[in-house]
């Protein structure tokens, strides 16, 4: 191998190992950077190396004398010499090797001589408008005596590696920013599922140093549990070396509080061999979410308990209602039967008492006549009571049957007045105002409507002291399609506290000395209002104690029976 005339009589015996030392770090922007390398002793091995470099046409290669004159360049070097010319040859002068000293190589040669070993320099060169990075390795060439007689160098294009490292660094720093900003934490574990790295976020959450966890398996500092969906995908995923998501992992912090995390991870395999290398994943703090879920669960359980209790009570209530309904029905049936059974003999008693009073079967002693009157009155009172009880029983059992007709209101009302006239006259009451006139027709049951008016009139008579006044007003309300008949008196009136209750069953106002003397069952108003309501009407009361009362019955109007002029009578 012949390098040049200058070297003909000198054997190249030493070339520092071109791979000694490692690539210069950083400062990629600098046009030339040199680093010192370890010197390898001159020996046969070095000779072999230089031979190989010279033969290796893949790397641009040059040899120059110590004054910078180019002794040899290979073809590959020639192809890039234009670009490298700045540092080595002037552009286009490769073929003139041996004749030119290259001033820009001078600093490299100086470095080689100063360090007496291989010098590395990274050189950024523009080729075809693109920036390329070359790693230059410049090595002393020695003669037999060990003196440096020349410098040989190679240029290796390391653009891809350098750019790759730069990109990797950028990616890493981006990833670190994400990791810092994220509230989640990251982990890496090996094929044995031992933690190999853990982001700071985890140690911040659990409040323990990372060293406690590195090298441990997950199960050694926490436990896997089912997540809210009831899934345990992680365990299965790890077994099968598959990715998994939202595996619940529970860790107790130093205060004993349980911290819950969702782990999601992907398996890592060796690119070349395909061997399983472990997992990379992320942990998300879901303690709050699980706390809320368990609170919601507790609330749901409480509600379910309440619902069960309510259902049980409802069932008990249904049962009680069934029992009460059947008891009520039994009671009403009994009352109806008893009332019927009682009325038959009572009618006989009243009938015979009347016969005695009228001395139908011959003259009677005065005392017997008085007894006969007592018997009749008592019988009639008893009959009234039985009738009322029967009415209540029928209404409550829902068995009331009504026969609704179109009735002349005036006729029905005056019929009731007629039935009470004697009693009113007997008490010297002014009943002039009872002589109402109306051409209104109502839709009602004749007998039951009469019963209502009789009851109101008899009460008015009963509770109005002698010399008082009773009367009635009729008002037709066509827009509401009803008629209101008010029965009023100037009697004892009803106190406010009793007004609410006089319509209740058996309610009687007994504080008043006058009312205490009056007979009654306390059922009349209750029955009357129920009857009015069953016919689509109602009864209301306005009363002032000591001044009088006004009971107003409303009943549905039979359509087309009155003209507008008849509204008030
Ligand atoms: P009864 O008249 O048989 O006692 P009611 O149900 O008809 O039963 O009346 C209930 C109570 O209402 C009466 O006992 C009485 O205290 C009071 N009451 C009813 N009508 C009048 C009235 N016009 N004036 C004063 N109090 C009355």
Where do the structural domains in the chain lie, given as residue ranges? Answer: 7-166, 183-285, 295-396, 401-567
Count Cβ neighbours within 10 Å for each residue of 436-473 and write b for 16 or more, e otherwise.
Answer: bebebbbbbbbebbbbbbbbbbbbbbbbbeeebbbbbe
Any bridge partners for residue 477, and if so which?
Answer: 482
To the question of domain 401-567 being in CATH 3.30.565.10, the answer is yes
529 neighbors 539 (Cβ within 8 angstroms): yes
The CATH number of the domain covering residues in 7-166: 3.30.450.20
Q: Which residues line ligand 1 (CB under 6 A)?
A: 455, 459-460, 463, 489, 491-494, 502, 507-509, 515, 520-526, 549
DSSP H/E element including 131: strand 130-142
Q: What is the pLDDT of residue 35?
A: 33
Q: How far separated are the first and last CA of the chain, in Å rounded?
A: 147
Q: What is the pLDDT of residue 108?
A: 82
Pick the atom of ligand 1 nearest to 388's CA.
Answer: 3
**Cα–ligand 1 centroid distance for 522 (angstroms):** 7
Closest residue CA from atom 25 of ligand 1: 493
Token code pair at residue 440: 């209104």
Rounded to whole angstroms, what are the CA distances from 299 to 229, 304, 305, 307, 326?
A: 19, 8, 10, 12, 39
Ligand 1 pocket mutation pick from 489, 522, 527, 548 by most atoms within 8 angstroms of CB: 522
Size (the chain), residues: 569
User: What is the C-alpha to C-alpha distance for residues 267 and 278, in angstroms, rounded to an integer?
Assistant: 6
Query: Order of strands across the sheet with 548-556?
Result: 470-477, 482-489, 548-556, 538-544
**Cα–ligand 1 centroid distance for 468 (angstroms):** 17
User: What is the C-alpha to C-alpha distance for residues 102 and 109, in angstroms, rounded to an integer?
Assistant: 11
41 neighbors 146 (Cβ within 8 angstroms): no
Condensed to tens digits (0 to 9), the pLDDT of residues 16-75 reads: 322 233 333 322 222 233 333 334 444 454 455 555 555 555 777 778 888 877 777 777
Q: For every residue of 436-457, which 3-state class applies, written as one string?
A: CCCCCEEEEEHHHHHHHHHHHH
Nearest 10 degrees: CA dihedral of 212, 216, 221, 225?
Answer: 150
Condensed to tens digits (0 to 9), the pLDDT of residues 183-226 reads: 889 999 999 999 999 988 888 888 888 788 999 999 998 999 99
Q: What is the pLDDT of residue 515?
A: 64
Pick the atom of ligand 1 nearest to 551's CA.
Answer: 23
User: What is the C-alpha to C-alpha distance for residues 328 and 528, in angstroms, rounded to an integer?
Assistant: 21
112 neighbors 148 (Cβ within 8 angstroms): yes
- In which residue are the tokens 């007496």 written? 116
Q: pTM value?
A: 0.47
Q: What are the two backbone dihedrals, phi and then psi, of residue 536, each rounded to the nearest 5 degrees?
A: 90, 15
DSSP H/E element including 543: strand 538-544
Closest residue CA from atom 18 of ligand 1: 459
pLDDT at residue 417 greater than cutoff 90 = yes
Evaluate whether 7-166 and 183-285 have a shared fold. yes
Min mean pLDDT across 97-111, 315-329, 420-434 is at: 97-111
Residue 3: which region, alpha, beta or left (left: phi > 0; alpha: psi -120 to 50)? alpha
**Cα–ligand 1 centroid distance for 451 (angstroms):** 15
**Cα–ligand 1 centroid distance for 380 (angstroms):** 18
Ligand 1 pocket mutation pick from 459, 501, 516, 519 by most atoms within 8 angstroms of CB: 459
DSSP state at residue 210 = G
Q: What is the pLDDT of residue 138?
A: 87
Chain-centroid distance of CA 557 in Å reads 55
pLDDT at residue 231 greater than cutoff 80 = yes
- In which residue are the tokens 């018997």 written? 375
Pick the atom of ligand 1 nearest to 548's CA.
Answer: 24
User: What is the C-alpha to C-alpha distance for residues 428 and 419, in angstroms, rounded to an integer?
Assistant: 16
Ligand 1 pocket mutation pick from 502, 529, 548 by most atoms within 8 angstroms of CB: 502
Tell me the longest C-alpha to C-alpha distance in the chain: 188
Pick the atom of ligand 1 nearest to 455's CA.
Answer: 7
Closest residue CA from atom 14 of ligand 1: 508
Q: What is the pLDDT of residue 441?
A: 96
Of 504, 400, 516, the C-alpha closest to 463 is 516
Rounded to whole angstroms, what are the CA distances from 27 to 33, 87, 88, 503?
A: 8, 18, 21, 106
Closest residue CA from atom 8 of ligand 1: 522
User: What is the C-alpha to C-alpha distance for residues 487 and 402, in angstroms, rounded to an integer?
Assistant: 23
**Cα–ligand 1 centroid distance for 509 (angstroms):** 7
Average confidence (pLDDT) over 288-314: 93
Q: What is the pLDDT of residue 361?
A: 86
Condensed to tens digits (0 to 9), the pLDDT of residues 60-94 reads: 777 888 887 777 777 777 666 555 544 444 444 44
Closest residue CA from atom 3 of ligand 1: 520
- In which residue are the tokens 């001395």 written? 359
- In which residue are the tokens 């669960």 written? 297
**Cα–ligand 1 centroid distance for 497 (angstroms):** 14
Condensed to tens digits (0 to 9), the pLDDT of residues 158-182 reads: 889 989 999 999 988 888 888 777 8
User: 183-285 has which fold?
Assistant: Beta-Lactamase (3.30.450)
**Cα–ligand 1 centroid distance for 82 (angstroms):** 130
Pick the atom of ligand 1 nearest to 487's CA.
Answer: 23
DSSP state at residue 300 = H
**Cα–ligand 1 centroid distance for 507 (angstroms):** 8
259 neighbors 240 (Cβ within 8 angstroms): no
Closest residue CA from atom 19 of ligand 1: 459
**Cα–ligand 1 centroid distance for 354 (angstroms):** 28
Q: What is the pLDDT of residue 43?
A: 45
Ligand 1 pocket mutation pick from 488, 492, 508, 517 by most atoms within 8 angstroms of CB: 508
541 neighbors 499 (Cβ within 8 angstroms): yes
- Provide the percentage of residues in the chain whose pLDDT is more than 90: 47
Of 12, 42, 20, 51, the C-alpha closest to 149 is 12
């Amino acid at each position: 191998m012949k390098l040049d005339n200058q070297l003909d009589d000198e054997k190249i015996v030493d070339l520092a190992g071109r791979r000694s030392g490692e690539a210069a770090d950083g400062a990629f922007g600098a046009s030339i950077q040199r680093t010192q390398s370890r010197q390898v002793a001159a020996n046969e091995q070095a000779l072999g190396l230089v031979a190989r470099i010279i033969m290796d046409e893949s790397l641009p290669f040059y040899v120059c004398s110590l004054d910078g004159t180019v002794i040899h360049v290979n073809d590959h070097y020639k192809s890039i010499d234009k670009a490298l010319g700045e540092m080595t040859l002037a552009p286009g002068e490769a073929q003139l090797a041996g004749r030119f000293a290259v001033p820009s190589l001078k600093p490299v040669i100086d470095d080689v001589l100063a360090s007496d070993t291989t010098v590395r320099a990274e050189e950024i060169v523009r080729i075809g408008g693109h920036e390329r990075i070359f790693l230059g390795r410049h090595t002393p060439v020695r003669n037999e005596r060990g003196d440096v007689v020349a410098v040989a160098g190679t240029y290796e294009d390391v653009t891809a590696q350098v750019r790759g490292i730069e990109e990797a660094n950028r990616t890493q720093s981006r990833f670190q920013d994400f990791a810092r900003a994220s509230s989640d934490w990251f982990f890496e574990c090996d094929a044995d599922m031992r933690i190999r790295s853990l982001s700071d976020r985890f140690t911040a959450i659990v409040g323990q140093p990372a060293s406690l966890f590195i090298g441990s398996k997950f199960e050694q500092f926490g436990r896997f549990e089912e997540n809210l969906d009831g899934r345990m995908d992680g365990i299965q995923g790890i077994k099968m070396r598959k990715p998994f998501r939202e595996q619940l992992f529970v860790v107790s912090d130093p205060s004993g509080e349980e911290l819950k995390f969702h782990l999601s991870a992907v398996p890592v395999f060796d690119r070349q061999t395909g061997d399983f290398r472990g997992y990379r994943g992320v942990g998300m703090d879901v303690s709050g979410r699980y706390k809320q879920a368990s609170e919601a669960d507790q609330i749901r359980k409480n509600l379910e308990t309440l619902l069960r209790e309510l259902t049980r009570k409802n069932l008990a209530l249904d049962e009680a209602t069934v029992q009460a309904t059947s008891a009520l029905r039994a009671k009403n049936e009994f009352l109806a039967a008893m009332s019927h059974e009682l009325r038959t003999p009572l009618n006989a008693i009243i009938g015979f008492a009347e016969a005695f009073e009228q001395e139908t079967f011959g003259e009677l002693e005065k005392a017997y006549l008085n007894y006969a009157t007592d018997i009749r009155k008592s019988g009639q009172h008893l009959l009234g009571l039985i009738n009322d009880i029967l009415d209540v029983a029928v209404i409550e059992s829902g068995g009331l049957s009504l026969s609704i007709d179109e009735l002349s209101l005036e006729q029905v009302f005056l019929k009731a007045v007629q039935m009470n006239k004697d009693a009113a006259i007997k008490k010297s009451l002014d009943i002039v105002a009872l002589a109402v006139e109306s051409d209104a027709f109502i839709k009602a049951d004749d007998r039951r409507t009469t019963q209502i008016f009789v009851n109101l009139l008899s009460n008015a008579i009963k509770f109005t002291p002698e010399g008082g006044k009773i009367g009635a007003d009729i008002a037709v309300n066509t827009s509401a399609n009803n008629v209101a008949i008010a029965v009023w008196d100037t009697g004892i009136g009803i106190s406010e506290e009793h007004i609410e209750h006089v319509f209740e069953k058996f309610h009687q106002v007994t504080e008043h000395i006058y009312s205490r003397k009056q007979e009654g069952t306390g059922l009349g108003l209750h029955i009357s209002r129920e009857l009015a309501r069953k016919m689509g009407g109602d009864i209301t009361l306005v009363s002032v104690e000591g001044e009088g009362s006004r009971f107003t019955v409303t009943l549905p109007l039979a359509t087309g029976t009155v003209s507008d002029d008849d509204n008030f009578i």
